[in-house]
Amino acid sequence: MTPLVRSVRSADTLTRDALAVLQPGFTGTTAPDWLLRRLGEGLVSVGLFGRNVADPAQLAALTGRLRAEREELIVAIDEEGGDVTRLEVRGGSSFPGNHALGAVDDTALTRAVARELGRRLADCGINLNWAPSADVNSNPGNPVIGVRSFGADPQLVARHTAAYVEGLQSAGVAACTKHFPGHGDTAVDSHHDLPRIAVDLPTLQERELVPFRAAVAAGTRAVMSAHILLPALDGEHPATLSPAALHGLLRAPATEGGLGFDGLIVTDGMEMQAISATYGIERGSVLALAAGADAICVGGGLADEDIVLRLRDALVRAVRDGELPEQRLADAAARVRALAGRTRSADVGEGVAPAPGIGLTAARRALRLTAAGPYAPLAEPAYVAAFTPLANIAVGDETPWGVAAELARLLPGTETATCTAEAAAAAGTAALVDGLLTAAAGRRVVAVVRDVHRHPWMAEALSTLLAARPDTAVVEMGVPQAPPQGALHLATHGAARVCAQAAAEALTDQRLSPGE
CA angle 486, 488, 494 (to 5 degrees): 95
Q: How far apart are CA 149 and CA 102, in angstroms?
A: 8
Q: How far apart are CA 115 and CA 352, in angstroms?
A: 8
Contact assessment for residue 122 and residue 348, using Cβ atoms and an 8 Å cutoff:
yes
Contact assessment for residue 128 and residue 76, using Cβ atoms and an 8 Å cutoff:
yes
Q: How far apart are CA 491 and CA 493, in angstroms?
A: 6
For residue 317, give every residue at least 6 positions away whose Cβ sits within 8 Å of its Cβ, in sequence order, or none. Answer: none
Q: Rounded to whole angstroms, what are the CA distances from 466 to 403, 436, 470?
A: 18, 12, 5
Q: How far apart are CA 471 and CA 78, in angstroms?
A: 40
What DSSP string describes 388-443? -PPPPTTT-SSS--SSHHHHHHHSTT-EEEEE-HHHHHHH-HHHHHHHHHHHHTT-
Q: How far apart are CA 271 and CA 281, in angstroms?
A: 6
Q: How far apart are CA 347 and CA 515, in angstroms?
A: 29
Q: How far apart are CA 222 and CA 269, in angstroms?
A: 15
Q: Rounded to whole angstroms, what are the CA distances from 63 to 127, 201, 340, 395, 511?
A: 10, 43, 14, 24, 36
Burial label, 255 (beta-carbon count in 10 A; 0-12, 13-18, 19+): exposed
CA angle 181, 184, 189 (to 5 degrees): 100
CA atoms within 13 A of residue 125's CA, in its CB half-sphere:
23
Active-site option among 78, 234, 268, 451: 268
Q: How far apart are CA 174 and CA 219, in angstroms?
A: 10
- Our answer to whether residue 191 is catalytic in this structure is yes
Q: Is 238 helix (H, G, I), strand (E, B) or coil?
A: coil
Active-site option among 99, 179, 183, 191: 191
* CA torsion, ordered 156, 131, 133, 215, to nearest 10 deg: 50
- Our answer to whether residue 268 is catalytic in this structure is yes
Contact assessment for residue 121 and residue 74, using Cβ atoms and an 8 Å cutoff:
no
Q: How far apart are CA 300 and CA 312, in angstroms?
A: 18
Q: Rounded to whole angstroms, what are the CA distances from 322 to 239, 316, 329?
A: 22, 10, 12
The catalytic residues are 191, 268
